[in-house]
Structure 1
Amino acid sequence: MIRLIRPYISFAEVEHDMRRMFESGIFTRGEHVEAFRDEIAAYARAPHAFLATSATTALWLCLKRLDIKAGDEVVVSDFSFPATANVVEDLGARPVFADVSLDTYNMLPEALEAAITPRTRAVIAVDAFGNPTGMNKIAEICRSHNIPLIEDAACAIGSSEDGKPCGSIADMTCFSFHPRKLLTTGEGGAITIRNPDWVDWFNRKLSHGAQGMQGYGLDFVDFGYNFRLSEPQAIMGRAQLRKLDAIVAERNEVRDACIEKLAPAGFVPQQIGDDVVFNVQSLVFKVPDGVDRDQLITQLRKDGIETTIGTYCLSATTYFRTQYDDVQPNAELLQRTLITLPCYAGLDVDLVCERVLAAITLSECMA
């Protein structure tokens, strides 16, 4: 089976630091955790960064910082993994779904403007599959309405728009280090923020509410949580961050080669802006007209190629459709028509594309 993605890390890259960690017995809050946090901030050109257990806990904590609660509304990109809206729902607020572009798959500025009401307390905009196209425009709209912007950059580490890395555009940005991401720590995530007044709050909340020492113990000045990344995870993250730009370049080479072979057959790639660096977290195409996307996925798996859908129209999921009955048409169409293909260095692009093109000629794959 040709897998969808392979991690960009080997044991040899981390063996020395892992061995030293085992010898020291320090598995949490060690030198690599501190270094990784600082390196994420520097890479994203963000004033402040924090490490978390996942992008989901990172998003949830950002909403807690904004004191989001029952009766509030948060505008959410409608084409994303459910975690983006789940964190809003969990706090008792209402996710208001904004439709997305059929080309970039990102939140439409006009949809955001239409979704803002006097109850809007925040916006969560998603870099779909790592593509930040239009994020600066979304940030401009949020500033004009004095509404905080949280960038769900779960997929977007290594991407940028207009020379601004993801992590430096929004008020708060959340990254994921899940195994499907370019940089993985198994599970894990990070937060970057711009407001210096929030630094102590995030440090406390991520670590049980502790701040400083009192006698021989910690001084707990607030209530908080254990959302900390571990030392072995930080070692893994640092090894990949050092070569992240090269990883992004390799994935773009694969993307370009696939577009060249598949576009003439009607596969439409995700569009990116002229001033965008796209990390290609997922290589996504709209299938040709007349092709049944689900049957194509089934056939390719039979042929030894792992593929999957793009992602989800959140407003069309059973839970949110039942709660709000506000399905967004573009996001729903994208959920039905996008396919994600394998993308990593060393991929046999010719073989993958040959099998994709052969599959769409089969009657089983025709809508």
Structure 2
Amino acid sequence: MSAPALARIPVMIPWLGAEEAQAAADAVLSGWVAQGPRVAAFEAAFAERVGAGHGIAVSSCTTALHLALVALDLGPGDEVIVPSLSFIATANAVRYVGAEPVFAEVDLTTGNVTAATVDAVRTERTRAVIAVHQGGVPADVHSLRDRCAGWGLALVEDAACAIGSTVGGSSVGRGALLAAWSFHPRKVVTTGEGGMITTDDAQWAQRLRRLREHGMNASAAQRHAATTPVLESYLEVGFNYRMTDIQAAVGLVQLGKLDEMVARRRALAARYDALLRDVPGLRPVRDPAHGRSNFQSYWVLLAEDFPVGRDEVLAALSAAGVSARRGIMAAHLEPAYAGHPHIPLPVTERISRDSLILPVFHTMTEEQQDRVVAVLREQAAP
């Protein structure tokens, strides 16, 4: 009789349980399921957690990026510097406002843009920069903020993966002009889908709240709470980018688990580091000197002379029952950006070609990690 097949190891499982289910049920039973009091509570708790003055909950990080660029009044004729090495939404958000994304190179170690790589593509038409905290690895935003201020450029932080990461001992997002966050199920904190914008600017926060709700000067919650009729006005063309109270209820529970989740992911990353230390040709992602990662993703970069290619490694992992993913994509190599002008991006292309993301999730066992590492050892053998 053959041995039973081992259960497949997923690349990520959200850490959700009875507490989140009860919170969602309570929201449903309250009768208020659209954007309402739980969204407001989640906004306040999230902003406090990252050290921002205001939180504006939206339907996704993509819509958060879009609204951030709308708030900056960017449009046709403007250039926005972005890394190509990022999920395609980063570049797409620039196109949503009619501006032109300009692809900057990234640092080989962190996968993030730097002041030097931004400067290399800056022109007279540049109006803003989007810095991504890639995979939870914090970008050196203190340097970027100083340089962008000197250049007269707005710096938007794509912090989709970075809740719980730190820069200089403070939360990513603290002091940001505008930061965009994701609550997708592959992120550390999830609401199923959903996003957030954080800022210290009260006027921007007020406008962003209007923009997410069709440009109305009075939200549905405000109208519901009023004791006299409220005749709303639509002050500008807005969008339907709202979060529901059901999602926010889950988010509040998840936010309470954040410290435990980050500690667990960092412990798993440390164990991967130890297990992979003597495997030739693999370079795991590391904390940068200026901050600490939440290890939303644990990715490894293959040496250029690794015995097999990245796709062969992914196939071997899959055959062994391990779900892994290709590393961070390069937007300029996708059909959507075919023909889009850009400088040579050898580091971006190297990371995109030679990196892969390994499974990391809260309930991962040592046996599961050992299985992942065993496959990598086999592939590294000459």
Give the TM-score category using the shorter length: over 0.9
Letter in 2 for 1:292: G
* Structure 2 residue 338 is matched with structure 1 residue 338: no
2:248 maps to what in 1?
Answer: 234
Equivalent runs, 1:169-180 vs 2, <5 Å:
169-180=175-186
Question: Which deviates further from its counterpart, 27-36 or 332-341?
Answer: 27-36
CA contact (8 A) 2:131 2:139 kept: no
C-alpha offsets along residues 70-127 of structure 1, whole Å, 9 cap, x if unaligned? 1110000221000000111232221111100110111032111121111111000100
- Spell out structure 1 runs of 4+ moving beyond 6 A: none
SS of match in other structure, 2:120: helix
Matched with 2:128 is: 122
1:209 has 2:226 as partner: no
CA drift of 1:218 comes to 2.4
The amino acid that maps onto 1:71 is G
CA distance in 2: counterparts of 1:18 and 1:318, whole angstroms? 39
Aligned residue number for residue 301 of structure 2: 286
Which stretch of the first structure deviates more once superposed, 71-80 or 345-354? 345-354
**Runs of 5+ in structure 1 lacking a partner?**
none
CA RMSD of aligned residues (A): 1.9
Distance 2:357 2:201 in 1: 36
Instruction: Say if 1:348 and 1:191 are closer, same or farther in 2 by CA, change over 3 A.
Output: same
- Residues matched between the structures, number: 364
User: Do structure 1's residue 2 and structure 2's residue 17 form an aligned pair?
Assistant: no
C-alpha offsets along residues 9-44 of structure 1, whole Å, 9 cap, x if unaligned? 11x103443333233211012321110010011001
Structure 1 residue 163 displacement after superposition: 2.1
Q: Deviations over 1:320-361 (max 9, x none)?
A: 241215441100000011110011233134443444444553
Distance between the aligned counterparts of 1:18 and 1:74, measured in 2? 39
How big is each residue's C-alpha offset from its partner over 1:46-75, in whole Å with a ceiling of 9 and x where there is no partner? Answer: 011100000001101111111111111000
- In the other structure, the counterpart of 1:45 is 51
Counterpart Cα distance in 1 of 2:269 and 2:356: 14
Could you tell me how far apart the structure 2 residues matched to 1:362 and 1:152 are? 34
User: Out of 142, 147, 151, which is 2:148 matched to?
Assistant: 142
Secondary structure of 1:312's match? coil
Q: How does 1:30-69 map to 2 (within 5 A)?
A: 30-69=36-75
Amino acid at match of 2:154: P
Q: CA deviation at 1:216?
A: 4.0
**Identical-pair percentage:** 33
Note the C-alpha offset of 1:140.
Answer: 1.5
Letter in structure 2 aligned against 1:279: N
Aligned partner of 2:3 in structure 1 is none
Which AA in structure 1 matches 2:169?
G
- Is contact 2:156-2:178 (8 Å) kept? yes
**Does the CA-based 8 Å contact 2:313-2:379 persist in structure 1?**
no
SS at match of 1:4: coil
| Residue identity in the other structure for 1:87 | A
1:19 aligns with 2:25: yes
Q: Secondary structure at the match of 1:261?
A: helix
Letter in 2 for 1:53: S
- In structure 2, the gaps of 5 or more residues are 1-7
Distance 1:195 1:22, change over 3 A: closer
- Residues 47-196 of structure 1 mapped to structure 2, 5 A cutoff: 47-196=53-202
Instruction: Kindly state the Cα deviation for residue 198 of structure 1 after the two structures are TM-superposed.
Output: 1.3
- Distance in 2 between the 1:282 and 1:110 partners? 25
1:46–1:285 CA distance, 2 compared to 1 (3 A): same
Counterpart code for 1:6? I
Provide the TM-score with structure 1 as the length reference: 0.94
CA distance in 1, matches of 2:278, 2:213: 53
Task: Determine the C-alpha separation between the residues in 2 that align with 1:111 and 1:352.
Answer: 36
Quick one: distance in 1 between partners of 2:124 and 2:142?
23
AA aligned to 2:16 is I
Q: What are the superposed Cα offsets for residues 248-285 of structure 1, whole Å, 9 maximum, x if unpaired? A: 00000000000111121132112322342211000111
Q: Classify 1:346/1:203 alpha carbon distance in 2 versus 1 (closer, same or farther; 3 Å).
A: closer
- With structure 2 as the length reference, what TM-score do the two structures score? 0.90
Residue identity in the other structure for 1:4: V
Q: What is the DSSP-based 3-state SS (H/G/I as helix, E as strand, rest coil) of the residue aligned with 1:79?
A: coil
